[in-house]
Structure formats: structure tokens, C-alpha cells
Structure 1
């Protein structure tokens, strides 16, 4: 047991929505005092760094209500209950972009905001892309515009804050690092 652990005294779900639930925890701190924690529970998600044979990155532009603006992102989506992350990645890639892939490799996973949420995102690299004629449809409340960017264009989008989310910045920097290592 860690000396930094916070012991849960009581927990209560105060909101349950379509994507998240919000829980209020009463905790005992390592020094014996008590505090409250508001924690968002999330089923997890996947994000896909999809590369064309020309080494362009498949991106989607999507309006994000939380930001009150559209941003450009790598395709991503929420895990369904009990869904394998790699299956979710294949489904989301096809739904959002119309592409299927021959090769899917897990690059990493990370917690998005561990101070208040348990969302874990799995980031995959997809290669060997083929555009599918009759691909899966987007969710009924989802609207995206497809973009294909070179690495330099993606880096410029980051500077211009058109790309402004952690998963996409991670993916672009991963490619930038791979390119630098391949030049050695």
C-alpha cells in the first residue's frame, strides 16, 4: 500500500449520462484528514494514427461543443462496454474515415486527466489503408470532415491551434520522432 493512498470512506454517483458518470468521494488523506473528490468515470476510448501509403495522416475536423469550435483530430471514439480496444479502433477508423487497414499496432495508452477522470485512451497506428466503398455510417449525432495532412502540415496546424488536443499532438510528435530516428 502506498503512503500516498487516499482511502475511500463513502462514494455516491451524482450523475449518469450517455458517455460519463460523475461520482463524489469522501476520502481519508494520508495525514488522516478528510476531503472530497469529484471523479468522472469514462469507459475509455481509442485514437487512430492512420497513415496513407504517401505517409499522409488521416484526420477529421469536428466541432467540439466543450470548446465552442471545430478542431482537427486523429479519428477516435469511445469504447463500448466489454469491447476490445483494437476492435473499437477498427470500427472507429471505418466509421469516421471510410478506411479499413491491413496493419494495426498499439503504440501506447494514457490517462487523459487523472486528476478528475479515469478515461484511458489507447492510441493505435494503422497502415495499409484501403478506402471502403460502403463503409459503416457515422453515429447519428456525429459530423466530420476528412483531411489528409503531411507531417509538416500537421505541425503547422498545431502552431495555428487547429490541432489542439493531446491525443492528436501525441500522434504528430510520435511521427516527428520516428522521422528523426530514421534519418540517423
Structure 2
């Protein structure tokens, strides 16, 4: 039987540039009260950008949380009040230089719903228009164009282990 937890109180512990951390006290049927640590996040986008010759555009960047470089789809966080579609167009341009006339939402998912409300929107972009990369001041990445089958194999072999990237590549395997 699935039960809903009722929030009794909520304490904001930390507010940062990207996240907020709160601790909720919840009432759990037949178990009294428990604490839940919740990370609040404005959401993010990821873009499966497909070149004219059916290559997937990936970026490689260092991620401090895991202490390694990862292959990822172009992606970024949604700014306050920003529409996810507008964010995807902006992030694709900033990170890869590519512009696009239209994007198609192919999936959305909660990244880690056990402790965060972060919702990730994955878009498919085709008919790319090359342009200049315009990275933010604190971004350092390399852009790669990987054959779709090679990208798929990189997911299967765990060379790509970023969830949004794996999901995007697996979802589009039959679309391109």
C-alpha cells in the first residue's frame, strides 16, 4: 500500500547558486515522524543534437562531484522564470555554437527523486546551424561529434555514465 507523507514542518538549511537544501519533518502512517533532506533545483535541460551526417554532439567536461571528465549531451540549468525550451536553445548555442529552428521534447524525468525535485527535460535537435561557441566564464569543455552507433556503444560499455546523456542517446537510437 502506497501512502502519502504529510509535511509537518520545513526548515531551509542552505541557499546556493544552484540549489537549496531543506529538511522536512514528515508524518508517516504507523511510524510517527521522520526527517527528509530535500534538494530544491530549478530544473535542467539536455539536448540530443544530431548533425547532418547523423552524429550526436557531445561535450566532455570535468565534473568535480565525481572527480573525472564525462561525455555529456549539451545541457544546463533552467534560470528563474525561464522556459525549458528557451533554456535548451540557449544552452545548445552557448556550449556547441549550434543554433536550431525547432526542438522537440522527447522526455522528461526526475533525476534523483529520493532527495531532489530536479526535473530534466530532454530535447531532440536536428537541422543544426553552425556558429560560435559562447561558454560561460566558469565553463571549460570540449565539443565532439560522435557517430550515433559509437555513442550508443559508449553507453552500453559505460564509457558514457551520465544519466541524461545515456537516456537521450538510448531514446533516440531508433529516431536517427
The TM-score normalised by the length of structure 1 is 0.91
Any conservation in 2 of the 1:40–1:117 contact (CA below 8 Å)?
yes
Q: Deviations over 1:94-133 (max 9, x none)?
A: 000000012211111110000000000011001110111x
SS in 2 for 1:174: helix
1:119-168 superposed Cα distances (whole Å, 9 cap, x missing partner): 00011001110111x45x21111111000011221123224433111111
Within a 5 Å distance, the mapping from 1:1-184 to structure 2 comes to 4-31=3-30, 33-132=32-131, 134-135=132-133, 137-178=134-175
Which SS does the other structure have where 1:156 is aligned? helix
Distance in 2 between residues matched to 1:49 and 1:164, nearest whole Å: 16
**Distance apart, 1:174 and its partner CA:** 1.1
Checking the alignment, whether the CA contact within 8 Å between 1:6 and 1:27 is kept in structure 2 is yes
Aligned-CA RMSD value: 1.5
Q: How many residues align?
A: 176
Gaps of at least 5 residues in structure 1 are 180-184
Partners in 1 of 2:48 and 2:165 — Cα distance? Answer: 8
Query: What's the offset of the Cα at 1:178?
Result: 3.2
